[in-house]
Amino acid sequence: RIIADLRNLQDLVADNPQQVDRLKRLEALQIEWNKYAQSMIDMQRESGDFRSAVKAGRGKRLTDEIRKGYDDAVAMEQQFRIARNEDVTRTTVISVSLYLAFVL
């Protein structure tokens, strides 16, 4: 489900190559994390020593990388939103000013 959502996001930001690359990296990290999690589940089911594997910290590193990737993607989209809002405000002020200048 997460992979499908990441692919949908890639389509939505297709006009921004940097965001597409970031989302592709997130997709790869998510796939890697899914494999890691499944291996830990399998190891636990087989009564293997999954605790030492967990203590090695690979899962946490992957989770931290994924979290940072999402944070970076959201930050970039927020910057774009702010820039668009500023453009809309500027255009509105100019339009209203021109309208008033021609009407009066």
pTM: 0.76
For every residue of 45-88, DSSP letters joined together read: HTT--HHHHHHTTHHHHHHHHHHHHHHHHHHHHHHHHHHHHHHH
pLDDT band at 55 (very low <50, low <70, confident <90, very high): confident
Convert the pLDDT of each residue in 67-88 to its tens digit: 999 999 999 999 989 999 999 9
Convert the pLDDT of each residue in 8-54 to its tens digit: 999 999 999 999 999 999 999 999 999 999 999 998 888 878 888 88
Distances (CA, A) of 51 to 31, 45, 65, 66: 21, 12, 21, 22
pLDDT of residue 17: 93
